[in-house]
Structure 1
Amino acid sequence: MTSVGSSILTALNAGSGIDTSALVSSLVSATREPKQTAITSRQTLNSSRISALASAISSLDTFADALTEVLSGAAYTGTAASNDASIASVTLLSGGSPSGLPAQLTVDQLASARVYSSAATSGATGSTVIGTGSFTITNAAGEATTITLDSSNNTFAGLAAAINAGDTGVTARVVTDTQGTRLVFKGATGADNDFTISTSADDSSSILGGMSFTSSSTPQNAKITLDGVAYEYASNTIDDAIPYLRIDLNKASPGTTVTLSMSQPTAGLSDLLKEFVDAYNTLMKALNTATATGADSSSAGVLNGVAGVRDMKRQLASITSTQLSATGTYKTLSDIGVSTNRDGTLTLDTARLATAMETDPEGVTNMVNPKVSTTASPGLSALMDTVRDNIEKDDGPLKTAQKRYDAEAEEFTKQLEDLDEKMTNYQEHLTTIYAAMETRLSALKATQSYLEQQIEVWNNSNSN
């Protein structure tokens, strides 16, 4: 952009012969460069710190989240098992760890439901009209629900849909086979879920008027014996016989004992701890590089001297000595062979870990990965989450450092903008000064030329 001063110089045709534009540019550059270099140097360091802090936080988050995800898998929580799944199968329920396993189970009787079916109507389909009237379902408590059949629902399919839409505990379906079409009604399993059905037809000659029902199954409770104690349940799916364990009864087999158990993830847990140490050391080595001291500022780590990162390293280094379990022989990572080195990295004593896993596999598993995490017994995943949360809390040293560097980034941007404005004004000022000087020099040169002409005239006159 052409400045006001430069326009003046151009108008005056730079009569002095001096390149004032280049002179002004040189003076402005000489003033700008040391100031700009100082700001951009600090700006570059600040940007590097912002990037390094963001990378450190991201790495910590990735590490903690990955640990939580891995430990939640069946390979590290243990697996519920039945030695005869054809009789009874088991699955873990969330929220806790089954207790009292292994357990001995006998399935003496399966739970069943009342089932009624109507006689088949030859040649009929689901859309065949069965007639108008009413259909009544009465449960074991004597509570009756009546469905009115009219032109909107007086087909096999219409009656079934009306029953299924009601809150009776009874389901209905239309079945068509080679014999014809019939209605099948089924209640919930359990002795207390019996029901009866009756019809009232407006026309006794209609299908509804001649409809009869046959029961093919009676309701009864499931009967099991668990560790010698007899129990009854209305369903074949049992969630509360053993805490946090679902038992699905698949077949009655009186006299046959099924063993329910939990496998401990000993091999998987050993491999996990090795991977944990390796991943942790990758994170800590990166922090050590970022905070390294050097002979001068050019060789020091970009986060050297940042209090928030020192606090981060300190909290991470305390993991091996922090209690993971309030009970048992093994309470900390150091108890099973994980120790902290002077530089904050970890070392795993595989022989000591193998001894601990062989001596008390369940104790080590529960310490590292408890089914229920508590304040006293958090386990490794919850501890890492707590450490991560403490490191990243809004009023903590790390976040405070981030906020300070973000504020400095804005300040450096503003300083460069202010410098640009000042240098523009300075250039305009210098240009105005040199434009005025150029004007005076031009006037002097004009006077000089006039005098020289006059002197030459005088000299010529005198010589004549």
Structure 2
Amino acid sequence: MSSIGGVGSGLDIQRLVSQLVAAERAPQAQRLSQVESTARSQLSSLGSISSVLGGLKSAAAGFSSATGIGARTVSLSSTSYLTASASSSAQTGSYSIDVISLARAAKQSSSPQTSIDTSLGSGALTLSVGGSAFTVNPGGGPITLGELRDSINSATNNTGVAATLVSADDGVRLVLTGRDTGASKNLSLSGSGDLNAFAAAFTVNAVASNAQVRVDGNLTSSATNTFASAIAGVSFTATKSETDPVATRTTLTVGRDNGAARTQVEGFVSSVNSVLSTVKVTTLFNTSTGVSSPLTGDALPRTLVSQLRNALGAAVPGQPAGFESLNSVGISFQADGSLKLDAARFDKAMNENPQAVSALFTGGNGYTGMGARISSLVDSFTGTNGVITSRNKSINDRIANVGRQVDALDLRMERVQKNYLAQFTAMEKIVAQLQGTSSFLSNQLSQLSNLNR
């Protein structure tokens, strides 16, 4: 806008027009600013609620794993021969385990050679591991001991053999070791040309074999040292064979991890309380100051709390008497509206019927447990088509609409400003003309007055 001064009137037209435009703009701009501010505050509050709901869903979804409810402890009378772990499907109890032998890989050694550069002549060497064969130096050209080692290790079709050179007092030997253990992984080799005699001279150092243990006196084998199915839900690995299994027998004991279960439930209760407290803060009305929170009076948070309390308080179908609800295992609402875990009652329930307590949270027999129930409730609010998701979209649309209205207001105020400037400019011209006429008349009157003298 060009700078226009009141040449005729003496008014600061630039400043006057700005003040008039600002006065006309202020009520509408203030209203739009308030609408946007309220919308952003609501968006922020809904974001806070969504965040704690995400934490609640994680806590609820955790009941589907074996890290808390249904977790098992494993103890060993000795750690010299075994390591072990158990899943939630493992039955509690004790098992006697004797480690008879560890799994072994096949190993064979060649006859001694003078050095790594000793020529073995010409020919190909075929190696077979568990019946799966591959051939090195298939062209049959001359090859040294070192080159044969490298050819075996670099073969792209190697079926499971590692080759090394071992220097001993009588010379350098090629040592072949199977990469996998187990009786089905034995090693054999044959050669052609000069390598036929070289292959025939190999000595068997170790025969591939399975690991063997006795579980409560029952012999079982494994191609590796790990036994994943000997005891349902338990995996144990033999680390050392026993020289006297009877004297050094290991007792493996599977127990319930009540501490892990209680810790997981405490986390779930804490997540519920985070949701309740966040909703309370975002809907609070201060009667002393008359100040309301962004979601005061909003039906959405009230609906959320109502549905959450109902879901937590309702019984889980299919549960035995005394284990059908959270309250029955020591989880109940307090006078202040928060959820609380009575650890003593929970531990008592776990000791009496751990399967029922687990099913209360994880579900079973075709029924949905508390974990899945709460996860589904959270999804109904924060999922793709959730209530909060839809509300957020609506609020963002409102903010975008405010932006469009502000742009329209700016354009309208530009037109108002131009109109004011045009009006004041026209006024200035009239004032200037009137002042010119006034000066002319004054001059004429003055001249008449002089003539009369």
TM range (shorter): 0.7 to 0.9
CA contact (8 A) 2:282 2:293 kept: yes
What is the CA–CA distance in structure 1 between the aligned matches of 2:350 and 2:287, rounded to whole Å? 46
Alpha-carbon spacing, 1:319–1:229, altered in 2? closer, same or farther (3 Å)? farther
Which among 175, 193, 199 is matched to residue 185 of structure 2? 193
Distance in 1, matches of 2:410 and 2:290, equals 28
Q: Which amino acid aligns with 2:109?
A: S
Contact 1:315/1:391 (CA < 8 Å) preserved in 2? no
User: 1:120-149: per-residue Cα shift (whole Å, max 9, x none)?
Assistant: 334x23x554332122335666x7544336
1:87 alignment counterpart: 81
Deviation at 1:322, TM superposition (A): 5.4
Moved more, 453-462 or 132-141: 132-141
- Correspondent of 2:352 among 352, 356, 359: 359
Aligned to 2:122: 132
Which residue number in structure 1 is paired with residue 19 of structure 2?
Answer: 26
Residue aligning to 2:381: 391
In 2, the alpha carbon distance for the partners of 1:352 and 1:306 equals: 37
Going from structure 1 to structure 2, the CA distance change for 1:394 and 1:190 (only over 3 Å counts) comes to closer
Q: CA distance change for structure 1 residues 421 and 375 in 2, over 3 Å: closer, same or farther?
A: farther
User: Does the CA-based 8 Å contact 1:132-1:150 persist in structure 2?
Assistant: no
Q: Are the aligned partners of 2:68 and 2:264 in contact in 1 as well (CA < 8 Å)?
A: no
Distance verdict in 2 for CA 1:245–1:130, change over 3 Å: farther
- State how 1:418-429 maps to structure 2 within 5 Å: 418-429=408-419
Q: Who is 1:184 aligned against?
A: 175
Distance in structure 2 (CA, Å) of the matches to 1:70 and 1:378: 9
Whole-angstrom distance in 2 between the partners of 1:115 and 1:298: 86
Does structure 1 residue 221 correspond to structure 2 residue 198?
A: no
Counterpart check, 1:230 vs 2:219: yes
Could you tell me which amino acid in structure 2 is paired with residue 317 of structure 1? R
Q: TM-score, normalised by structure 1?
A: 0.81
Q: Give the aligned partner of residue 136 of structure 2.
A: 147
Which residue identity does 1:91 align to in structure 2? S
1:292: Cα distance to partner? 2.5
Structure 2: stretches of 5+ with no match in the other structure = none
Equivalent residues of 2:123, 2:140 under 8 A apart? no
Structure-1 residue corresponding to 2:113: 121
Note the C-alpha offset of 1:415. Answer: 1.6
Give 1:269's aligned residue. Answer: 261
Which residue matches 1:156?
A: 145
Give secondary structure in 1 for the equivalent of 2:121.
coil
Tell me the matched-pair count. Answer: 445
TM, length-normalised to structure 2: 0.83
CA distance in 2, matches of 1:296, 1:403: 34
How far 1:214 moved relative to its partner? 1.4
Asked whether the equivalents of residues 221 and 233 of structure 1 are also in contact (C-alpha less than 8 Å), the reply is: yes
Partner of 2:300: 308
Amino acid in the other structure paired with 1:226? V
Query: Using a 3 Å threshold, how does the CA distance of structure 1 residues 286 and 417 change in structure 2: closer, same or farther?
Result: same
* 8 Å Cα contact 1:265/1:365 also seen in 2: no
Does the residue aligned with 1:263 lie in a helix, a strand or coil?
strand
Q: RMSD across aligned C-alpha pairs, in angstroms? A: 3.6
Matches within 5 A, 1:426-445: 426-445=416-435
Change (3 A) 1:262 1:121: same
Contact kept? 1:201, 1:209, Cα under 8 Å: no
Q: Who is 1:281 aligned against? A: 273
Superposed displacement of residue 259, structure 1:
2.8
1:248 aligns to 2:242 (yes or no): no
Superposition map of 1:311-390 within 5 A: 311-321=303-313, 327=319, 330-341=323-334, 344-361=337-354, 363-364=356-357, 367-368=360-361, 376=367, 378=369, 380=371, 382-390=372-380
**TM-superposition CA deviations, 1:37-85 (whole Å, max 9, x none):** 1111121111111111122212332454467679968577333343333
User: Counterpart of 2:282 in structure 1: which amino acid?
Assistant: A
Which is further off, 453-462 or 148-157?
Answer: 148-157
CA gap 1:175/1:79 in 2 versus in 1, 3 angstroms: farther
User: Residues of 1 paired with 2:327 and 2:101: CA distance?
Assistant: 51
Q: Contact conserved, 1:131 with 1:149, CA < 8 A, in 2?
A: no
Post-superposition CA distance 1:387-441 (Å, at most 9, x none):
3322212222211110111111111122222222211211110121121112112
Distance across 2 between alignment mates of 1:74 and 1:407: 43
Looking at structure 1, the residues matched to 144 and 74 of structure 2 have their Cα atoms a distance apart, in angstroms, of: 48
Mapped to 2, the partners of 1:179 and 1:69 lie a distance apart of: 63
2:126 aligns to what SS in structure 1? Answer: strand
What is the percentage of aligned positions where both structures have the same residue? 26
- Aligned in 2, Cα 1:258/1:410: closer, same or farther, shift over 3 Å? same
Amino acid at match of 2:430: R
